C-alpha cells in the first residue's frame, strides 16, 4: 500500500495533508477522478474560473505521480459545433 495525496490547484494550492492509502496508481487515478467529481458537485463556482485548475497526485515523498487538468474554453461566437 502506498499513501497518495490529492492536491487541488485552482489559483491557490489546497494541500491534502492526510492523503489516502491505496494499492497502486490505478486506484489513485480512480480516487482522483472521484474527488474531482465531488469537488465540482460541491463547489461549482470554484471550478474552471482560472486557466490553472488541476489536481496533482503525489506520493509520501512529495513526488508527482500524475495530474489531472480541468479546462473550460469559452468561445467568442457560439456555433453549432459542426
pLDDT of residue 49: 67
pTM for the full predicted model: 0.82
Indicate whether 18 belongs to any domain. Answer: yes
How far is 8 from 57, CA to CA, in rounded Å?
9
Q: pLDDT, tens digit, for every residue of 38-82?
A: 988 988 777 766 667 899 999 999 999 999 998 777 777 777 666
Q: Which domain holds residue 54?
A: 2-70
Confidence band, pLDDT 50/70/90 cuts, at residue 27: very high
Indicate whether 77 belongs to any domain. Answer: no
Indicate whether 63 belongs to any domain. Answer: yes
Total domains in the fold of the chain: 1
3-state SS assignment for residue 31: helix
Indicate whether 54 belongs to any domain. Answer: yes
Amino acid at each position: 500500500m502506498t499513501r497518495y495525496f490529492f492536491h487541488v490547484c485552482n489559483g491557490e494550492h489546497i494541500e491534502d495533508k492526510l492523503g489516502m492509502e491505496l494499492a497502486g496508481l490505478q486506484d489513485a487515478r480512480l480516487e482522483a477522478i472521484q474527488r474531482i467529481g465531488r469537488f465540482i458537485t460541491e463547489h461549482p463556482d470554484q471550478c474552471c474560473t482560472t486557466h490553472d485548475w488541476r489536481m496533482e497526485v503525489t506520493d509520501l515523498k512529495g513526488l508527482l505521480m500524475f495530474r489531472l487538468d480541468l479546462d473550460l474554453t469559452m468561445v467568442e461566437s457560439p456555433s453549432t459545433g459542426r
